[in-house]
Amino acid sequence: MTRHKDSIAMSQLSPLEEMLKLAETEPDVFTTTADHWRPPGGRGIYGGSIVAQSLVAAQKTVRDGFLCHSMHCQFLIVGNEAIPATFAVQRTRDGGSFVTRTVQGTQEGKCIFTSTLSFMRAIPSEKQRVQHVPTLPSSRGSPPDESIISTATAVAPQLFPISIEKSNGQPENAKLQTWIRAPREIAQGGDVEVQQAILAYLSDWVSISITPYVLGLFDFPGGFSKGVETSSLEGSSVGMLSSLGHTIYFHAPARIRADEWILLVGHSPWSGDERCLASARMFAKDGTLLATYVQEGVIRLNGELDGPAVKL
């Protein structure tokens, strides 16, 4: 398995790769080395970067031949973009086929994030196995022309929205489709672990926001471009949208090319009690199902807020 490339010159790495780099300060303790990214209108650090960095930290403690197949994350406190984050990895279990790691992300001694990650040994391709996979939606269209995509923002995921399809007018049956990819070419493109980390980074960009889109609370597709320049909440009746938990299942890590267009198909099966749930599948252009993720979050309308100081 190809691992992180320390030999690649720093000047060759994309800004996103630089942001995900970690330095080991103690055994199994890693600290961010680059500035965090706070999205326009965001309350703190972009959650996808914390998810990806926790995966990078765990990867550094796992022996060759194992790749992450699932990670289960909890966002506890909004991260401060002005403070480095530290990720302490606990070697929970090292088995013959599976390896488990628990990661705690902190800032100035406060725990802001936790994740539990499971790694699996690669299975020989000739081994017989149970297998079935979904097919690509027929309404996806073709990936967009490269020339019409902006590269102005160095770390914001690039999106090309396709459609929201509603069945019988029910939001729980609605399906949101968009193309998504990393904003710049990945210098470490042959490194499977880097590709996984950047896919994890992308997965938080279109997550619980699916709920207000299928409910008609966010403008589609205008809200997608707005989210890169200003807050998606601006001009909407949604006053707060914040992630609580995020789970990713990696189905085909070796097939991930996060700087190529990936089809994201998402839906929101439920919302209530000021919470919402969304899930999405991520397909490569050739139809390979790369990953599935599920996210729960807090959603509050402007009339439900207690004031500007409201906290989780």
Domains of the chain, residue spans:
10-122+150-304
- Structurally, what CATH architecture does the domain formed by 10-122+150-304 represent? Beta Barrel (2.40)
Task: Identify the residue with better confidence: 168 or 287.
Answer: 287
Task: Quote the pLDDT of residue 8.
Answer: 46
Task: Quote the pLDDT of residue 11.
Answer: 53
pLDDT (mean) for 103-109: 98
Task: Quote the pLDDT of residue 220.
Answer: 87
The predicted-structure confidence for 128-172, as pLDDT tens digits, reads as follows 678 887 877 776 777 777 655 555 568 999 888 899 987 777 899
DSSP state letter for 266: E
Q: Which residues does 266 contact at the CB level (< 8 Å), separation at least 6? A: 175, 176, 177, 206, 207, 210, 278, 279, 280, 281
Length of the chain: 312
Position 269 pLDDT exceeds 70: yes
Among the listed residues 130, 132, 21, the one whose alpha carbon sits nearest the alpha carbon of residue 85: 21
Place of tokens 């006053």: 239
CA–CA gap between residue 288 and residue 179 (Å, rounded): 14
Q: Band of the pLDDT at 270, cuts 50, 70, 90?
A: very high
pLDDT (mean) for 216-231: 78
The answer to whether residues 233 and 213 touch, using CB atoms and an 8 Å cutoff, is no
Q: Band of the pLDDT at 223, cuts 50, 70, 90?
A: confident
The answer to whether residues 220 and 35 touch, using CB atoms and an 8 Å cutoff, is no
**pTM of the complete model:** 0.91
CA–CA gap between residue 261 and residue 276 (Å, rounded): 27
pLDDT (mean) for 80-87: 98
